[in-house]
Amino acid sequence: MTSPRLLAIFALLLMPVLAAASEDDTPTQLRGFPETSLTITHGGGRDSFRVWIADTSARQQQGLMFVRRMAPDRGMLFPQRAPRPMSMWMKNTYLSLDMVFIGADGVITGIAARTKPQTLDIIESPGPITAVLELNAGETERRGIRVGDKVAIVP
């Protein structure tokens, strides 16, 4: 038979494990990033994503570097102050990604699908854009997201 004292000690030892398990799915290297939600409306319906926002130069340089896994409904948004052509790379990025290029009107202008991890290959936007959304590789195809679909931040 187990004593009440032994159960109490076991419960105290288990508390940090349970607390860690209940934390959100934010990797350690992204813990300071602001977050928001967005939706993409497309021919097949509407999909929602929770995204980290790379809102400073330092955060944009870091991006998803060193992140080893990301939930299917997660992503990272790289917003710009004004429309401009953008170039991205996959340096120190372990995940293959779909890069979704978003115009000033919120419409998807291009998608670079299944980018190659850990390369310095330059991935160019198809013209001036106001944001890049990075999702797990294959998410755009799996969800039916295409050029011309609409992206909106959820207030």
Q: Are 48 and 147 in contact (CB under 8 A)?
A: no
Domain membership of residue 13 (yes or no) is: no
Please indicate, yes or no, if residue 19 is contained in any of the structural domains. Answer: no
**Would you say 46 and 85 are in contact if contact means Cβ atoms under 8 Å apart?**
no
CATH classification of the domain holding 54? 2.60.120.1140
Give just the sign of the alpha carbon dihedral 148, 143, 56, 64.
negative
- Residue 112 structure tokens: 């670079």
> 150: domain range?
25-154
The answer to whether position 9 is within a domain reads no
Work out the number of other CB atoms within 10 angstroms of the CB of residue 76. Answer: 24
Q: pLDDT tier at 1 (50, 70, 90 boundaries)?
A: very low
Query: Closest Cα partner for 24 from 13, 33, 14, 11?
Result: 33
- % of the chain residues with pLDDT over 70: 85
Per-residue pLDDT band at 25 (split at 50, 70, 90)? confident
User: With bands split at pLDDT 50, 70 and 90, how would you rate the model's confidence at 31?
Assistant: confident
End-to-end Cα spacing for the chain: 54
Residue 18 in domain: no
The answer to the question of residue 61 being in a domain is: yes
Q: Is 87 contained in some domain?
A: yes
Domain assignment of residue 121, yes or no: yes
Total domain count, the chain: 1
111 three-state secondary structure:
strand
Would 65 be classed as within a structural domain?
yes
